Each structure stands twice: as structure tokens, then as C-alpha cells.
Structure 1
């Protein structure tokens, strides 16, 4: 069996994986806080038929060897954490991080998850939560008689109460960042989980020690560039077609060999 069949098949599978990744990026083009992914590839093992440097006669050696590759495989899907565009909403519970950092969210099992999606809501107890009801960590409860909510660039949350003109501080938002954010695991629901590759979370105050400041009344949109993804899609499709042509050529060669007569 010709090795080119399997080599080209690995290329087709790799480009299909690329198209799947691009499709997910495009599907989330309007998802708040979404970060696009990129596929990295790696060539497979090589079969060495002749080693370079092999001596042929006294004082002479082969300058180049003969190696044949066996295709390609996806080796990583890298999250690109570049800043997305900001959209003004004038909603006091819509928050955006101007720079590095993640909001912390408490999952029902007690695990802390991390997100760039700042489209927060208020539940029946007055707690600031995500769209799925996961509580912002540390917990901040907005009093039922509050008539105005303000979030400062440093994460300070203040409210103005009924019959009171002076704002009162009710809590402070803390952010987390990671040495290697690309090592975070996608949890879905616009959330990430820490892993050994990402390193432990570094928690701090917005606007200090490398953390981004918080802007109220804005949302960070997806960092997906539609034009860029469409170009990548065309490239992946052409590469898929080229690999299919290699399989077709190998099949034609095998057919010619089978049709040989003595």
C-alpha cells in the first residue's frame, strides 16, 4: 500500500479539524468575552531510508540522507487572549476589563471559574451573578432599597440608598490572572478553569500590579475577526482539496499498477 494514501489522509483530517475550529470561532463572533482559537500542527515521524554522513568510500560520505514523512497531526488549539472590541450598553451591571485579568465565578461544586464575560445580572437575593446564575467571587449583595449602582475602575462597588445622597461601598471586585492563560481549560458557558499548565491564579485589585481596570456600562465582545477567519477557511479548504488530489493521484497509480499485464 502506498504511504501517500495515509499521509494525504492525515492532511485531510488535519484540515477538517482546522475547519471545525474556524466554525466555532465564527459561531461565537457575537459572544461576549469569547476568545478565538488557533490550531497548531506538527509533522509526524519520518522513515529514514539512508542516513546522511554514511561513508561510501575512503574519505567520502553521503552529504544528504533520504527520509520520508508520514503526514501531519494537530498538536494544540491555542486560545488567543487579545483584547476584544468594547460595546457601550449603559447597563450598570455590564462590566469590562481594560487589560489583563479575569472575573472570578463560583460554580455550584465550589470550584472557581474564570471569565472575560462581564454581562452580569442580579438574582432574587441581590447577588451579582452570571447569566447562568453563578455567583461573582467574592460575593457582592446589592441591597433591595438601592436606587443607583456604581463600579469604580479599582473594582469598588458602591450604591446609593433610598433617602440617602451619599454612596455606600458594599464590596470590591477582585480579578485573577495567570502566568500562562493559554493553558486554561475551556469549561463552556464563557468560563475557563485553571490547570497545571496555566499555573495557579494570581488574585489582585483592578488597576494595580498589572491587572486591568474595570469600566462600567460596557461589554467586551469577541476578538474574532470575520475577514481573517474567512481567509483561514479558504486556505484550509484549498489544503483539504490538495490532499484529496494526492489521494486521487495515488489511487490512479495503484490502478495503473493493477492493470499491468505480463
Structure 2
């Protein structure tokens, strides 16, 4: 009975982690370029017991389950039209590379850019796009091609090429570190970033005037939440049943 209590408790902890992940997905349903997360489970160490006194048969008994890892799913969200020419979405694989205040590099798919005081393209949180695209103060219109070429129409109606937006890709993007606010960091598991112009080397194209939506499917998350809640309740009922049996055993008189 003691084993049953501990095994059921591990199940409750694992399902609680799953419920937390699903709840976080649902809370970010409308967050641009949010990537849904899921929980990987693993069986805890097995205990081998002798179940036959005659032939000495052995039986392995699982000792529960645990949430081993949070996984991000990087499939693309829907591209939604915006009214801002500074909004850029990636259609396909790849990330924008940005510079953090510390000088380190981070990667994001959130492309709602703006201009800082010096005319450089920065993220909504002020992180500088690593390609360092600077827009002239007398620019009256900005054009970004699908291949990432940025140009501007100036007040004298002339055209000026401002630079090239490159994309970063990873061999194992699912292993990127999650920083905050849609930012990700490279590590040994994800490998170093490789760079290419949009549309080359398996990377996607950029779409001006679009924002990538979250890839969370509300119906799927609600179904997963219901299943996780039922599994949690099932483990709690095992604890109650084991407790009742222990009470009965303790009340027996020899």
C-alpha cells in the first residue's frame, strides 16, 4: 500500500506539470509567434520482485512516472495581415537574429519591428535586429521583399536600398533555450545557428505586413486538458483507495 501511495503521487506530480503546460498554452493563444509546449514523461526506476516461491519467477513493477522535459513545437502559426509595414512574418523555417543589451545574440520569430531613435529596426522590446537595418529620416515608404531586401522610397521620390535581412536556422531548433518574450538562445544541443537569405537553404520567406499568430489549437488544448485532469483525478483516487485499505488493515485485530 505504501508503494501505491508513492506511485500515485508521482502520477499527480506529472499530470500537474502537464496541466501547467496546457494552461500556459491557452493563456498565450493570442501571443504573436508563440510556440506551444508539451511535457515528455518517463517511467521511474522499476523494482524487481520475486512472485513465485516454487519456480522463483521475477516480476518488474514500475514505481511511477515523472515529467522529464518540456518540449516546444515549432510548427508555423497562421500568418495574419496587419496594417503596419514594419511587421514582418517568416513563412517557413527560420528566426530573426537580435542583439540583447548584454551583447549576446538571441533568436525570435516575433516580427513586429519598429524604428528606434537612430532609425534602426528593433523589436517591440527594443532589441536591435542583428542585420542593423537603418532607415533614413526622409524615408516615406519602406519595402521588404520576400527575399529580405529592404529598400525605402525617399521624400524626393528616389529609391534607396537599406540592407538585407538574413534568417538563422538550427539543426535542432526544438532544443533551443527559451529566454523570454518570444526569444530563444542557442546551446550545445541545438547547435550553432547557420545563416542564409530568406528562401534559401531550407529557410522560409519573409512577408511584409503580416504577423505570425500562435500555433496553439484551442480545441486540441481543451481536449488535452480534460484528459490530464482525469488522469490527475485517477491518481488521487488511488491514494484515497490505498488510504482506506490501510485504515481497514490497521483496524483488524489479530
| TM-score, normalised with respect to structure 2 | 0.97
2:74 to 77, 81, 85: 81
Q: Secondary structure at the match of 1:77?
A: strand
After superposing on structure 2, the runs of 4+ consecutive aligned residues of structure 1 that deviate more than 3 Å are none
Residue-by-residue CA offset, 1:57-109 (whole Å, 9 max, x unaligned): xxxx85xx311111001111111011101110131110011111000110011
Q: Which of the numbers 231, 237, 243 marks the counterpart of 2:235? A: 243
Residue deviations 1:25-44, cap 9 Å, x none?
11111111110001110010
- Once the two structures are superposed, residues 162-194 of structure 1 have per-residue CA deviations (whole angstroms, 9 ceiling, x without a partner) of 112x42111110100100001100001110000
2:128 maps to what in 1? 135
Question: Match of 1:24?
Answer: 24
Equivalent residue pairs, number: 254
How much has 1:50 moved relative to structure 2?
3.2
Using the alignment, how far apart are the partners of 2:87 and 2:39 within structure 1? Answer: 31
1:106 match: 99
Q: Distance in 2 between matches of 1:185 and 1:51?
A: 46
Aligned-residue CA RMSD in angstroms? 1.6
Deviation (angstroms), 1:115: 0.4
| Alignment partner, residue 9 of structure 1 | 9
The 2-side partners of 1:196 and 1:51 are apart by 46
Give the distance between the partners of 2:114 and 2:50, measured in 1 at CA: 66
Shift of 1:2: 1.3
Of residues 113, 118, 141 in structure 2, which corresponds to 1:120?
113
| Alpha-carbon distance in structure 2 between the residues aligned to 1:4 and 1:223 | 38
- Distance in 1, Cα, partners of 2:62 & 2:175: 30
2:167 paired residue among 175, 183, 186: 175
Q: 2:191 aligns with which of 193, 199, 210?
A: 199
SS of the counterpart of 1:249? helix
Aligned to 1:188, the other structure's residue is in SS state coil
Point out where structure 2 has 5 or more consecutive residues left out of the alignment: none
CA distance in 2, matches of 1:207, 1:69: 49
CA–CA distance in structure 1, aligned partners of residues 101 and 69 of structure 2: 30
